[in-house]
Structure 1
């Protein structure tokens, strides 16, 4: 059975555009997933990248064209300039970590719900009520937002170190069985084919 380490940011528009396709793919192939939220703004400078606000204008101009195209292809609503971006991604990331440890809900729906709040609803995922709402809608106890904060902080920091050591440089990033790496929501078809043995 294949295992996928899923590195992502709860702020990443490209992670948002992945929707819940990873979970659908993993389900078809019987693969397991470990969700590893990371501080993407801390990852960029450590792996040769820059946050959007510091990138060359040509890169940001391309991003401004490409994101709406990708959203249209996926049939998803996208606000290119959300009201709360960037914001503090730690509270939502801690909630994902706590939910994974607790079990009982749908992690893919939780992650997508958090990202949908940013990119489609103009909500601030640094606010407790927003995070609790996402937890509840995904079948988790909303009280998880208030628990395990130390564990969440430690895991969040450890995920970043693991990501750097594993060769992760962006989000979403998928690593199958510690070897095969796939970067971006536009590589999910490749991941699917890899798991099927055709790529």
Structure 2
């Protein structure tokens, strides 16, 4: 049975576009997934990435076109410029970490719901009220938003260090532990599928 480490950020439009395809592929091949939310800006800073505000206008213009194209292709609602902009991802990530540790709810649904709240519904995913609502909607105790913050912070930081050690430089990023095969981007999920079929 393959084990997949999934590194992502709750403000990544590309993670939002991935939808539930990772879960479908993993179920087909009997693979397990460990979800590892991380600080994307710190990942950029430490692996040679460029924050959006420092990118050339040509790159930004293409990015906007590409995001719009993907949303149309996938048929999903998408806000190119969410009203709350680049929010603090720590609170939503801590909640996901706590939910994964607690179990009992729909963790993939919580992650997709958090991404959709930001990119489709224009909600502030750094606010406790939003996080509690998302936890409850996906079968978790809303109080998880307030519990285990210290452990959440530790795990969030550890996820970043593990990502860098594993060769991650962007998100979404999928690593098959057994083979160290790495897949960057939701548009590489078909390659992950093909790889898992060989194991």
- 5+ long unaligned stretches in structure 2: none
TM-score by length of 1: 0.97
Deviation at 1:139, TM superposition (A): 1.3
Residues 100-136 of structure 1 show CA distances to partners (whole Å, capped at 9, x for unaligned) of 0000011111111000011001111010111111111
Report the Cα distance in structure 2 between the residues aligned to 1:130 and 1:33, rounded to whole angstroms.
25
Query: Secondary structure of the equivalent of 1:136?
Result: helix
Report the Cα distance in structure 2 between the residues aligned to 1:18 and 1:105, rounded to whole angstroms.
20
Aligned twin of 2:76: 76
Alignment of 1:63-142 (within 5 A): 63-142=63-142
Report the Cα distance in structure 1 between the residues aligned to 2:143 and 2:34, rounded to whole angstroms.
22
Deviation at 1:75, TM superposition (A): 1.1
Aligned twin of 1:194: 195
Aligned twin of 1:158: 158
Alignment of 1:6-21 (within 5 A): 6-21=6-21
| RMSD (Å) for aligned C-alpha atoms | 1.0
Report the Cα distance in structure 1 between the residues aligned to 2:152 and 2:122, rounded to whole angstroms.
25
Report the Cα distance in structure 2 between the residues aligned to 1:54 and 1:181, rounded to whole angstroms.
27
TM-score by length of 2: 0.97
Query: Secondary structure of the equivalent of 2:174?
Result: strand
Any runs of at least 4 consecutive aligned residues in structure 1 with deviations exceeding 6 A, and if so which? Answer: none
Report the Cα distance in structure 1 between the residues aligned to 2:111 and 2:138, rounded to whole angstroms.
9
